[in-house]
Amino acid sequence: MRTHEDQWLEEIYRNTLPRVAGMIYRVGGHLEMAKDIFQDAVIIYLEKQQQNKLPAGVPAEAYITGIARILAVRKLKQSGQHIPLDGMEGDIGVPADYYAPPPVAKPVLEYVKAAGKRCLQLLHAFYYDHLSIPEIAAGFNFKTEHSASVQKYKCLEKVREQIKQSDYAETVS
């Protein structure tokens, strides 16, 4: 079943991707670049929405196009090209860690993903989706909010130790 977010996303693709693609084309970019930049802008928009950090009165289309413009500027700067920014971008922030490399080495990443899938889902719900403990308790079928909270910290500890052990193993090998 399609969720409200699925429908919203489809509309955003239909209404806003052509606009972003036109902007990317004008600065010499290609379709793949337009798609990647647009999608990153959508993800940043959704993150800001979850954190209640969107400026009031700015339509989603305008905000996403604004972020896409900033991302395009950054990408072109890296490749030595330059496009000017216009007024609105000052109100729009790209998270500082957005293009950060993975915080752990690839083998560690694979190990943690395989060993702690449910824990990662739980931590995702809390730290990325910013769900409350009552929402997590309901969504993950915990009997009480207390057990959801305890499980979250157990998971945090478990993944933390997995990263630490893998990091040590990698340093030694």
Q: Which residues bind other proteins (CB under 8 A)?
A: 6, 9-10, 13-14, 17-18, 21-22, 25, 30-31, 34-35, 39-40, 42-43, 46, 97-98, 100, 102-104, 109, 112-113, 120, 123-124, 127-129, 149-150, 153-154, 156-157, 159-161, 163-164, 167
Q: Which is nearer to other proteins, 80 or 102 (CB)?
A: 102
Q: Which is nearer to other proteins, 41 or 92 (CB)?
A: 41
The least CB distance from residue 141 to other proteins, in Å, is: 21
Alpha-helix residue ranges (DSSP H) falling in the chain: 4-26, 31-50, 60-78, 106-115, 117-123, 133-139, 145-172
| Count of CB atoms situated within 10 Å of the CB of 47 | 16
Instruction: Please say whether the beta carbons of 40 and 98 come within 8 A.
Output: yes
Q: Which is nearer to other proteins, 95 or 134 (CB)?
A: 95
